[in-house]
Structure 1
Amino acid sequence: MPNFDDCTSSSASNSNDWPSWLTDLAPTVAEPWFAAIQAAVLPGLGDGPTNRELVELLEGDSAKSFTPLQRSGLWLLAGDLDRSHSISQNEKSPEGSFWHGIMHRREGDFGNAKYWFHRVGRHSILSDLSGRYPELHSDADEFVDRVAHAVRTGEQVEACQQVQWTEWQWLMNVS
């Protein structure tokens, strides 16, 4: 079950308990999203697991409250890599490339993930992740390799999932 304990990086901070991407929404809109995310299983390093509650929210009207890139991230969290990809591949920003790279990393296309992370360039989230998890995320390429190793061997899966969860939260705040 993910917790919003890592919801801010140097590129996006707030003093609320909710992440900034939810704080601007009406409570009646934000609360179901917050509850569904907290009830979810921590996302895997690969495809899935599918989160039916998030899928239903994403198919509803309240999903229009989010930017396209936030919806891309929410589709990743819901376990639907194809829907995430259809959004992120059309966004030319560093954040669009970031979501695109995460999606390819999760689908196991590690070389393509590295390509998209190179297109991100020097992003504060990448340096913040390296500062927070120096033993796991020295840079985006190294983390892609670490995830590939974790998927192949089953070693450090939970640690990589935690880095990925922090990455997701921070990227949602700036998307």
Structure 2
Amino acid sequence: MAIEEIKKPLQDRPRAWVDKLGNRDPLPELAPSSDWDSYLTSEISAASPEEIFVEVPADLELALCFQSGMLLWNDALEPSHTLSQSLHSATGSYWHGIMHRREPDFGNAKYWFRKVGDHAAYRSLAEAAVLLLRDYGDGYSQTFKSELEVGTWDAFGFVDRCEKAVRGKEPPEVVDLLEKIQEMEIKNLLLWCLQNG
């Protein structure tokens, strides 16, 4: 997922946020305990749509969804939650579900994913995840890839995978893989917000 595609419709300062988040090390944790960069959280939270976008999207709710997603990418769960809980669309519920999965409140995450339904962004996420998983030869990755190839993105299954990892029931290499897919999910949904706003 190209960072450049996400940066294209943004003002200069938000482009710098995307660069910083796109180069962050380590990747966003499955269950972060604090913001990755508190200054960045302040900047993203304080920005208006006019300060974020070159042309403000016609759908202001998707603009706020994008802002909520940027906060999640920065591990700023509470500010993201403040935004997403007021967004009553499938996309707002998707961000809300991701936030609760990372909180980690897995049951609540599934509640919000039920409200999402079959989101249009799931297909591109499943395709990108399959491409990533092809590079892994272990049984876990191949099983995950096979599940995605016969269907679409399974938000509930991903919640279950993350819960198992967060509870220490998966080896570090599986946690790393899930973090890569989680970041892919965040970038995919950010891009979807931009393309559909």
TM-score, normalization: structure 2?
0.71
Task: Choose 1 or 2 for highest CA Rg.
Answer: 2
In the alignment, structure 1 segments of 5+ residues that lack a partner are 1-5, 8-16
- Out of 137, 151, 161, the position equivalent to 1:146 is 161
Residues 122-158 of structure 1: per-residue CA shift (max 9 Å, x gap): 1132233334435166511111000001111243111
Secondary structure at the counterpart of residue 18 of structure 1: helix
The separation in 2 between residues aligned to 1:35 and 1:133, in whole angstroms, is: 22
Cα-to-partner distance string for 1:43-65 (whole Å, 9 max, x where unaligned): 00002452225224325547742
Aligned-pair distance for 1:115? Answer: 1.1
Query: 2:93 — aligned with what?
Result: 97
SS for the counterpart of 1:133 is: helix
**Aligned-residue CA RMSD (Å):** 2.3
**Deviation (angstroms), 1:79:** 1.7
Q: 2:114 aligned with 1:118, yes or no?
A: yes
The sequence identity of aligned pairs, in percent, is 34
Whichever residue aligns with residue 114 of structure 2, its letter is H
CA offsets per residue over residues 2-53 of structure 1, 9 Å max, x none?
A: xxxx24xxxxxxxxx6124x21234x33442233213323100002452225
Given the alignment of the two structures, is residue 54 of structure 1 paired with residue 63 of structure 2, yes or no?
Answer: no
The 3-state SS of whatever aligns with 1:79 is: coil
Name 1:157's counterpart in structure 2: 175
> 1:73 is matched by which residue type in structure 2?
G
Moved over 6 A (4+): none
Q: How many residues align?
A: 159
Identify if the C-alpha distance between structure 1 residues 133 and 61 changes in structure 2 by more than 3 Å, giving closer, same or farther: closer
Distance in 1 of aligned mates of 2:67 and 2:159: 23
CA distance in 2, matches of 1:164, 1:94: 18
Structure 2: stretches of 5+ with no match in the other structure: 54-62, 131-143
In the alignment, structure 1 residue 33 sits paired with structure 2 residue 4: no
Seen in structure 2, the aligned counterparts of structure 1 residues 99 and 85 have a Cα distance that, compared at 3 Å, is same
Distance 2:89 2:97 in 1: 12
Return the TM-score normalized by structure 1: 0.79
